[in-house]
Amino acid sequence: MEHGHSVDEIKSRILDKSNRTDLRDFVYGSIDGTITTFAIVAGVEGANLSPTIIIALGIANVLADGFSMAASNYSGTKTELDDMHRLRQIEKRHIKLYPDGEREEIRQILKLKGLKGDVLEGAVDAITSNHERWIDLMMIEEYGILPEKPEPLRAAIITFFAFVVCGLIPLASYIIGLGSPFVAAIVATGATFFGIGALKSRWSLQHWLWSGFETLLIGGVAAGLAYFVGALFAA
């Protein structure tokens, strides 16, 4: 079973407010880091330039693009958080100015869920007796926003970490000086794409094999395009 159903297990699961966006941020950073770095490797190889250039451009990409992605994710997540605060303040003000209208909104929401009669009125009274709980329900039902707050700094750090770690994989064979670095980079990068896809299948209905091959295909197409463009400029 995916999770337990005892009273304590259910209570613990419902009360768990841990950040649920870590997976998204990790997959976002790791796939982009692997694709963009290997695209540089493939493009420079296609142009028949020296391994030193591959290492220099690759490391520059890992650090600069990784930071750029982390900063973008921070700004996007911060915007999401700011919008959540704005909407909560709107609901808080409406509850203060138009309490009867806001109670009626709760009543209509619960009525659509099948509650009626005394059960409906009791539920309305229970929810509206606590303003934070009242606002939480309005955020979900009116705006489609879960009450768990996103964490911009955490999202940025996870994105940057995943980008750097996975982005260095296509460069590893060049940095340590293997005999056939491009072949080793292809194998390592392909394995990374497949591994990322297989890992994220744990949180989806896709079979891990299909999820792995899907991510491998996406990365392979990007790398193939980069190699082709690089080959056009080969000496």
Tens-digit pLDDT profile for residues 173-186: 999 988 889 899 99
Residues 192-214, mean pLDDT to the nearest whole number: 85
Residue 175 lies in a domain: yes
Residue 10 lies in a domain: no
Residue 235 lies in a domain: no
Q: What is the pLDDT of residues 74-96, one digit of tens each?
A: 999 999 999 999 999 999 999 99
Residues 207-220, mean pLDDT to the nearest whole number: 87
> pLDDT-based confidence at 105, cuts 50/70/90?
very high
What is the rounded CA–CA span in Å between residue 158 and residue 68?
13
| Res 225: pLDDT | 80
115 exposure class (CB count in 10 Å sphere: 0-12, 13-18, 19+): middle
Residue 9 lies in a domain: no
Both structure tokens of 51: 């391994």
pLDDT at 172 over 60: yes
pLDDT at 146 over 60: yes
Average pLDDT along the chain: 87
| Res 1: pLDDT | 53
213 exposure class (CB count in 10 Å sphere: 0-12, 13-18, 19+): middle
Q: What is the pLDDT of residues 1-60, one digit of tens each?
A: 556 677 666 667 666 655 456 888 888 899 889 888 888 888 888 778 888 998 999 999
CA 78 to each of CA 13, 20, 69, 83, 149: distance values in angstroms, whole numbers, following the listed order:
26, 16, 14, 8, 10
Residue 113 lies in a domain: yes
In which domain, by residue range, is 213 found? 22-225
Residue 151 lies in a domain: yes
Q: Which of 39-43, 53-57, 141-145, 231-235 has the lowest mean pLDDT?
A: 231-235
DSSP letters for 126-185: HHHTSHHHHHHHHHHHHH---SSPP-HHHHHHHHHHHHHHHHTHHHHHHHTT-SSHHHHH
Residue 87 lies in a domain: yes
Residue 94 lies in a domain: yes
Q: What is the pLDDT of residues 107-136, one digit of tens each?
A: 999 999 999 999 999 999 999 999 999 999
Total domains in the chain come to 1
